[in-house]
Structure 1
Amino acid sequence: MDGGFWMNKQMNGGWAGAAVLSLMLGLQGCGGGGGEDTSQTTNLLLSTPVSVNTPQDMANEHLAESHDDYNDNLSGLITASTLKRWKDDWVNQRPAHITGKLVILQVTPGGTVAGVPAAYIKPDNTNVFTYLTNSGEWTETRDNGVTVTVTMVASGAKMDESLNKYNIDPTKDMIVLAPGAGTNANPMNTGRIWYAMRYWGIDTRHLAQFNGANYWEETPGVSGNGLLAADFSAAASPAPATPGKFTVKYLRVDNTQMLATMADMKTIAPTTDVNDKTDGIFIWDARNLGQYSAGEKAERGDSTAKTNCGPLRTPTNDVAVLASSAYCDANNVADYKWTFQNNGSRQGHPNGTLQLQYTNMLEPKKGYGFKPKAELQAYLDGGTDIWGYGFVGSSQQNSYGILGPTNAYQSGDVIYAYCETTVRAMVTGFAAAAILGKPVRFYDGAMTEWNSLSYALADNGQYILPSDSPWRSEANSFLRWASDFVGFVAADVKPRTISNAYGTPNKITLDDQAYKGVVSSGNGGGGGGGGSAPTNPCGG
C-alpha cells in the first residue's frame, strides 16, 4: 500500500488561527519574500496563536510520509524528474499550494562527473534560483543551560538571517535542498538544513530534499537520474539584490519537540543496556559499530589498522564488500582510542540504544541517494540486507548481534536519533521522518555532550562536572573511559564549557519558544522536552 497521504490536522490554535495566518500572509503579496511589510500585518501575524506540535503531530502533518515511488512526491524526498519538470517550467508546473519561487540550496557544487559538468542545477534567476550554502549557516554553538555545545539547531535570529540572505519566504516558496556532489557526507548537511527548517515550523509541503547527486552514472555514458549537461550551469545564482524580510516568528507553530534535551535522554535511558520493546521509545545510534561499542566490536569501514572487517561500500567496490564480513571483532579490544571523537571523557552510548550506521540509508551507486522506501522500512522491521547489515543490539542485549525480525522498531515508537554531533543522524532521522513517516526527535547535543558530562578530569586538571551534578550521565550509559585505553595521555580529554553544572538543559528550546512568543509550561519542550533534574545526582 502506498504510504503517501494528506492528513489535515486540527492544531491547538484551531482553524480560526490558521485562517488568520493564511489571510495575513496573502496580504503580503505573492512572489516569495523581499516585499514590503506593514506594522499592521506584522502585528496580526504575531497575534495568531502558536500551535504546539508533538512528534506524532509532526509525523501526521501534510505529506509527512513519502509515497512508495519517490517520483510521486512533491515534498519530502523528490527525484530528478520532478525537479526537472519544475525548473524547466516553474510557473506552470509548481504545486498548487506554492505561490512563490523555487529556491534550490546546494551544499556543494556537483563537479564534473564522467565528463559531464554538473556544478549547479540550472536556475533561470527569475523564478528558479540555485544558491550555494553550507550547514554552518543553519547551525550554531549554543548554551543549553548546563553546557555549551557545538552544531546545535540555529537560533531564531540566525534562521532569519539565513532565510533573508537568500530572500526565502517559506510560506510561499518551494525550498529544495540538494547535495550537489555524490558523497556520504552531503546528505548529512542537507539533513541539518531540513531539520532546522522543520524545527522552526516550515511546512512539509514547502520543503524537499533532492535524492542524490546532481549527476551520476550507474551505466557508463548514461545519466542515472535523467539530468543532462543542459540541466546544469557553471555558476550559482547571484546573491539577491534585496535581502528578504521574513522572520520565523511568522511561522505560528512550535516544533521544538523535534529537539530532545539531555534531560529527555536521561529520562528515557533505562537502567540496563537493553532495548525495551514496550516503552514506546526507539533510540537509534547512527555512528559506526566501533564507536557504539567503544571498540568491543567493529563493522566494515572502521579503522583498517585496528579491525579486519573490510571496506565501506563505494560506487565501485561491491565485489570486495560482498567478500568481506559486515561485522568483526577488533584486533585488540583494549586498544580503543580509535573510536574516540571530539576528545570526550568516555566512549559508548546511552542505555537501551540500538545501532545501524547512517551509510546504510544511502545507495552509493545511485549518487548516494536514499534507498527505496521498502528497504528502509525493512531495517526498522529488524531485517538484514544483502550486505549483512541490520540493527544491532548492545553487548548486554545480544552480544552485538543482529536483532532480527520484530525485534527492532515497534509501531508507535518515537525515534530518538543521534550520532556524535547529530550530523550523521540527519540521514537516519530524515529517512525515518520524511520517508517512513515515523515520529522522530533529534538528540542534538549527541555524544559530544553525553560522553563529556562526567565526573572526569580534563587536561586542564579540572573535573568536567562536579561529583554532585545531576547531569552526570555515567549511570545511564554503557561506557569505556578514555583514561583506560592503550596509550592514554591527559591531552586526550579536553575541558568543556560548563555554564551551570546544576542548571537545567532546556535553555535552547525555552529561548526559541520565547522568540516566537510561545507560552511555555517551563519544561522547554512545549509539553514534551524535559528540563527538571533527576532525583539521583548521578543519573537514573
Structure 2
Amino acid sequence: MKVKQYFIYFQILVTFIGCKGLPEYVFLPQSLKFDLTPFLFRNYSPAELAKLSNSDYNLNESGLITGTKLSRFLSNWNTNKPSYVFGNLIVFQIQTSGSSGRYVFFDGKQSFAYPITNLNDLLSETRDDGVLATDGIVGKGKEISDFFAIYGIDPAIDYVVFASDTSNLSNLSSATFAYYSLLYWGFPKERLAVLNGSIADLTAASTLFTTSSYNYANSNRAGTTKTLFRDHTSLHLTIGDLIHSLKNGNSNLENVDPLPIEGYYLIDGRQNAAFTGTTNSTASGSKYSNCTTKTNSSFVSNTCVSTYEGRVKSASNLIPTDLYDGTSFQFRTFSQLTTSLNNTGYPDQKLIYLYGEEGIRTSVVWFVLHQILGKPTRFYEAGWKQFGALGLRSPTSGSSPSAITQPASYWRTDTAQLADGITSNADANVPNYQLDLSRQFIKSSNKIREEDKSFLRGSSTNAGSGGGGGGPTGGGGNACGG
C-alpha cells in the first residue's frame, strides 16, 4: 500500500515540475536509475489525436500551414515560433522526382532544411501483421529512430514541417504519409505540419523567399520516440479490427478492439472507378513488394492485381481528387472539404474507419479527415491491396494458387458479409501469396501493433497491452496536456 502511495506522490511531483511552462523533456525522468517507462506511458485515442483546422488556414500554427506561416517561421524562428515549442524548426523539402532548384532559407542553428528524395523508403516498410505481409506500412521503431538520428531531430522538443518541392500528387502523398508516420510514433500533433502548396509555386507567388543554392547543415542531435511516453498506435486499424466490426463483434478473432461505443463509419478513399469495381484498383506491379517472385512463370509483369475487385461492406466513397486542386495540389477550402465529407453521409461523431488502395497515397485522405476536419479516424494502411487479396479462388491449371484455399478461413474477405461488388480478377494476373494453413486460421492480426508497443516500452511484456480487452482509448501523456 505504501509503495502505491509513494508512486502517487511521485506522479504529483512530476506533474508539478512539468506544468511550469517548461519543455516536455524536462518532465521526463531520464536521469532516474530505475525504469518507469511501463508506468508513465499513456494511450491516446484517435479522437484525442485528431486536429481541427482553423477555417482560415493562415491562422494554423501546426497541422496544415500556409506559405505565409512557414515564411514567418523561417524569417526568425526564435521570435516567431509557437509559444509551446522549445526546439528547432526542421523542414523536409520533398522531391520524389525532379527538382525546382529552389531551397528555403534556414540559419543552420535553430532552423534546418533537407531536400529529400526517398522519404517513403525511410519511413515505410513491408510489415507482417500475422496474416499477410504488405508493403508501404509505417516503419518499425528502429527505422523511425534512425530517421531522427540522420536528420538531427529531437522529437521531445523539435517542430517538423513536410513540404512538397514541386506540385504533384507523389510529393503531397509523401508529405501526408510522413506526417502520419511521426504522429503514429508519438510525435505530438502540435509540432507537426504539412505545407499547403509547393515550395516552387509559393516561391513564384512571392510567398516564400528561396535561394538557388543549398548548403547542408545538421543539428547533430537526436532523440527517440521512447522518451515521449506516448502511445498513438490506436491510429492503426488492423484487418482483424475491421472484420470483427463488420461482423458486429461476433467473431472468434483475438486481440481485436471492441466495437466503438459511438459506432463506426467506413470510408473508401479510392477513386470512384476503383470503388465501383469498373477498373482495377491495384493494377500496377510496383504496388506489391516483390510481386513477380510471388507468381508463377505465366504471370505478366506490371499487371499485378488483387484476387478480386470490390469494396468493403457498407463503405462510402470519399474521392481523393475532390480534396485538392489538381494543378497546385493545395487542399480545398475548409468549407469545401466539409461538404465533401458530408456528401458521403457521414454521421458526425462516429469513429471513421478509413482505407484505400494503399497507405501512402490514401494518407492524403487521412490527413483531410483527421488533421484538417478533426474527425476521429483509424487508418487501415494495408487497404484494398491486402483486403482484396484475401479472396477464395479456384485457379485454372498452371495458375497461381489462391492466398485463401480454405472456404472457412478466418481471413477470407470475399463474402457478402464483408464485401460488396465482388468481381474476381483473371487468374494469370493475381500474385501467388501462398498462405499456409496456419495463417489461414490464425486468430490475430495484431502483430504490428504488438511489435510497436513493445518497442516503445522497451519490453516484450507490454507488447500486447492494446489487445482485445480494451479499445483504442486513453488520455493524457504529458501531465500538462497536449
TM-score, length of structure 1 as denominator length:
0.70
Query: Once structures 1 and 2 are overlaid, which stretch shifts more, 412-421 or 518-527?
Result: 518-527
Residue 293 of structure 1 aligns to which amino acid in structure 2? T
Of 241, 254, 260, the match for 1:264? 241
Q: Secondary structure at the match of 2:64?
A: strand
1:457–1:493 Cα contact (<8 Å) kept: no
Post-superposition CA distance 1:80-99 (Å, at most 9, x none) = 11111111111111111111
Taking the aligned partners of 1:431 and 1:493, their CA distance within structure 2 comes to: 32
Q: Does 1:431 align with 2:368?
A: yes
Shift of 1:290: 1.4
Give the match for residue 440 of structure 2: 501
Question: 1: distance between equivalents of 2:319 and 2:215?
Answer: 33
Pairing 1:53–2:44 present: yes
* Distance change >3 Å, CA 461–CA 435, structure 1 → 2: closer
Shift of 1:509: 0.5
Partners of 1:42 and 1:152 in 2: CA distance: 35
1:432–1:438: 8 Å Cα contact kept in structure 2? yes
Residues 434, 26 of structure 1: alpha-carbon distance in 2 compared, 3 angstrom cutoff: closer
CA shift, 1:77, in A, is 0.6
Higher helix share: 2
CA distance in 1, matches of 2:357, 2:215: 32
Of all paired residues, the percent bearing the same amino acid is: 24
Q: Is the 8 A contact 1:346 1:480 kept in 2?
A: yes
Q: Structure 1: how far apart are the matches of 2:36 and 2:84?
A: 19
Instruction: Give the 5 Å matches for 1:383-532.
Output: 391=344, 408-456=345-393, 461-467=400-406, 468-475=408-415, 476-483=418-425, 488=426, 490-496=427-433, 498=435, 500-503=439-442, 504-517=444-457, 519=462, 524=467, 527-528=470-471
Q: Secondary structure at the match of 1:416?
A: strand
The amino acid of 2:210's aligned partner reads: D
Deviation per residue, 1:448-477 (Å, 9 max, x gap):
100001222577643312313201111211
Equivalent residues of 2:235, 2:378 under 8 A apart: yes
Tell me what 1:316 maps to.
none
Unmatched runs of 5 consecutive residues or more in structure 1: 1-12, 30-36, 272-277, 304-339, 383-390, 392-407, 531-540
Which residue of structure 2 aligns with residue 345 of structure 1? 307
State the 1:41 CA deviation: 5.2
Aligned residues: 421
| Mapped partners of 1:65, 1:135: distance in 2 | 26
Report the equivalent of 2:69.
82
Q: Does the CA contact (< 8 Å) of 1:457 and 1:464 recur in 2?
A: no
Any conservation in 1 of the 2:391–2:414 contact (CA below 8 Å)? yes
Q: Does residue 273 of structure 2 align to residue 290 of structure 1? A: yes
C-alpha distance in structure 2 between counterparts of 1:379 and 1:270, whole Å:
28
Larger relative contact order (CA 8 Å, sep ≥ 6): 2
- Indicate the residue corresponding to 2:299 in structure 1: none
Rounded to whole Å, the distance in 2 between the matches of 1:197 and 1:415 is 20
Paired residue secondary structure (2:91): strand
C-alpha spacing 1:497/1:27, structure 2 compared with 1 (3 Å): same
1:482, CA displacement in angstroms?
3.6
Paired AA for residue 272 in structure 2: L
Deviation at 1:523, TM superposition (A): 5.2
- Give the structure-2-normalised TM-score: 0.78
Counterpart position of 1:204? 189
The whole-number CA distance in structure 2 between the counterparts of 1:225 and 1:419 is: 36
The DSSP-based 3-state class of the residue aligned with 1:282 is strand
Q: How many Å separate the matches in 1 of 2:180 and 2:12?
A: 26
Q: Counterpart amino acid of 1:170?
A: P
